[in-house]
Structure 1
Amino acid sequence: MIAFWIILTGALVAITCGLLGCFLILRKMSMVGDAISHAVLPGIVIAFLLSGSRETLPMLLGAGATGMLATFLIEYFHRRANLQTDAAIGVTFTFLFAVGIILISVFAGKVDLDQDCVLYGEIAYVPIDLWVMDGGIILGPRPVYILSAMLLVVILFIKVGYKELKLTSFDPAFASALGISTALWHYLLMAAVSLTTVSSFESVGAILVIAFLIGPPATAYLLTHDLKHMLAITAVLGIFIAFAGYWMAYWLNASIAGCMAVVTGICFASVFVAQRIAKRKSSPAMPGEAIG
């Protein structure tokens, strides 16, 4: 049963992050997920200091606010300071993440958080983080309910805004001509990424969140040019990665989150190599060209 809860948690995180990651990949903004996953740290700390608890709602509000601030700063520096997007991302997330580290250091006696917890998480603890009702009724691991709710929100968001997200990802100019606000949907997407990131922190940590935001969508991107197929392949890959990553960790007696991230890389590398081999075999050799 322990394995079931861990694999389910990993799959929920992988699917939720992967679905949003598809649109980040298409917008050439995949590293924004990395920026937001680090930039939300000061928001989490401030929310804890103000509320005095690690309840989900204050954490989501604090992280969401800081994530939106990071998004705004990245866009501002990109448009007003004429910085390349990657430079704007680097400046923003390192600054905000450093602010979060300083806050943790200064308020070490008041903040029940640490850098290692935020960076790495520990999915192995999910089965013992139980949701207990009044009367002692145990409903199961609390993170599973939080992540399930977040997945439903993300699916609803994509379903309702599929047309707008697709058009603003593939052709922002055409979307603007149709009267679709590219800025609005950009910030809505970034808000969804922020909320998904912080809801996954406690279970898997930032490193695995980044891996799931980029790895499965990038792999799916190699396999199809249809957005709906890309979303479906990403979801299936997420489930496979959670399952294979857990059993790799069990076999190696290693970090579960680390093994899931490694499986993500293996999946991408396998598809990439297979495509290169298939392309090489399908390309006829030119006269005088050696076939190796």
Structure 2
Amino acid sequence: MISFDQNAFLIIVTASLIAISCGLLGVFMMLRKMAMTGDAISHAVLPGIVIGFFVSGSQRGLEVIIGAGLLGILATLMIDWLRKKAKVQLDASIGITFTLLFAIGIILINIFAYKVDLDQECVLYGEIAYLPIDLWITGSGMSMGPRITWLAVLNLLLVLGFIRLLFKELTLTSFDENFGLALGIPAGAINLSLMSMVSYTTVSSFEAVGAILVVALLVVPPAIAFLWTKELIPLMKLTVLLALLISVLGYYLAFWLDSSIAGMMVTVAGVIFLVSAVLKSKKSKFSFGTQEKEKSFTH
């Protein structure tokens, strides 16, 4: 029997793994000024999830991840085509793409899956509190622990491997895409691979924290870190630390207030961002005032 402390540890560890995976990918999304593309992908994968469910008959099948990943890539291609070929602004491209694909997913659910346990809420919202009872059982009947925890470990390993393998290419194309192209780096392929990894991370995490809330973890921790540093390596390290802080504080505040763990994690992230923004603003004003006094004294 798993005790409360073990449950808390498993939930915090799993939430931290998910938050770190999302945050590290979010750093490169933010540098590319594509942070809200994660929002489009989280909605656009719904038709892929539904189609994967039709094929496998389960919400947990590999077909679901593959289907969602393909729809995430399709969403990326649509956004890129609308922006570059049709000359539609980026924000409009994102809005058009995710609303269209999300609507198609809802229609597929209403037409084909109305008699089964698959609806918008179970796809878009998760509850990590159920993690300790959702166990991975082997063919021999042995329990390997929470299934979602193993998925989160695999996801983080894939994200770390992806970043390590393409770190130079991701860095160059994130800061200056034209310079990367001049060096012969296939910026389009790198961007597509990044979006594919974001798609996989979104799908593999939606059971735990919900596809919509994954968006906040993709955007908020990197945005907080970016307020304090503009250098890439410190930015990534600070994002990881913030992901851990958000996971721990979010869990214990949710337990204390008897509320949604995932929702509280995002609330904590939002509060930290607001506090950081206020402190950074005051620091900037103080620095500006000091410079003005120094100029006056000099004159």
TM > 0.5 between the two? yes
Secondary structure (helix, strand or coil) at the match of 1:136 reads coil
Matches within 5 A, 1:170-189: 170-189=175-194
In the TM superposition, residue 9 of structure 1 has moved relative to its aligned partner by: 1.5
TM-score (norm 2): 0.93
Choose from 213, 235, 239 the match for 1:234: 239
> Quick check: 1:280 aligned with 2:273?
no
Is 1:155 the counterpart of 2:160? The answer is: yes
Q: Given the alignment of the two structures, is residue 90 of structure 1 paired with residue 95 of structure 2, yes or no?
A: yes
Give the superposition deviation at 1:149: 0.4
Letter in 1 for 2:23: G
| 2:198 maps to 1:193 | yes
Give a deviation string over 1:185-217, Cα, whole Å, max 9, x none. 000000000000000011110222011000001
Aligned pairs (5 A) from 1:248-267:
248-267=253-272
2: CA distance, partners of 1:75 / 1:221? 25
1:99 and 2:104 aligned = yes
Q: Deviations over 1:144-201 (max 9, x none)?
A: 1011101101100000100000000001111011000010000000000000000001
**Range with bigger deviation, 127-136 or 79-88:** 127-136
Instruction: Give, in angstroms, the shift of residue 124 of structure 1.
Output: 0.9
**Percent identity over the alignment?**
53
SS of corresponding position for 2:59: coil
2:275 aligns to what? 270
3-state SS of 2:36 partner: helix
What is the CA–CA distance in structure 1 between the aligned matches of 2:165 and 2:208, rounded to whole Å?
A: 28
Q: Is the partner of 2:145 in helix, strand or coil?
A: strand
CA-CA distance at 1:56 after TM superposition? 4.0
Q: Secondary structure at the match of 1:207?
A: helix
Question: Could you tell which deviates more after superposition, 28-37 or 226-235?
Answer: 226-235
Residue 57 of structure 1 deviates from its aligned partner by: 1.5
SS at match of 1:131: strand
> Are 1:48 and 1:111, in contact at CA under 8 Å, matched by a contact in 2?
no
Q: Aligned residue for 1:18?
A: 23
**What does residue 3 of structure 2 align with?**
none
Question: Aligned-residue CA RMSD in angstroms?
Answer: 1.3
Q: Which string of whole-angstrom CA distances, capped at 9 and with x for unpartnered residues, describes residues 51-109 of structure 1?
A: 22223421110000000000000011111111000000000000100111111111134
Cα separation, 1, equivalents of 2:95 and 2:242:
29
Go from structure 1 to structure 2 and tell me whether the alpha carbon gap of 1:55 and 1:118 turns closer, same or farther (over 3 Å shift).
closer
Q: How much does 1:136 deviate?
A: 2.8
> Secondary structure of the residue that 2:11 maps to in structure 1?
helix
User: 1:276 is matched by which residue type in structure 2?
Assistant: S
Q: How high is the TM-score relative to the length of structure 1?
A: 0.95
Q: SS at the partner of 1:121?
A: coil
Q: Distance in 1 between matches of 2:274 and 2:38?
A: 21
Identify which range, 125-134 or 174-183, moves more after superposition: 125-134
Counterpart of 1:216, as a letter, is: P
CA distance in 2, matches of 1:156, 1:30: 21
Q: Secondary structure at the match of 1:180?
A: coil
User: Structure 2 CA distance, aligned partners of 1:111 and 1:93?
Assistant: 25
Q: Which residue of 2 aligns with 1:65?
A: 70
Match of 1:39 among 22, 37, 44: 44
Long gaps (5+) in structure 2: 1-5, 294-299
**SS state of the match for residue 117, structure 2?**
coil
Cα deviation for residue 229 of structure 1 reads 1.0
Instruction: Judge conservation of contact 1:32–1:89 (CA < 8 Å) in 2.
Output: yes
Task: Name the count of aligned residue pairs.
Answer: 287
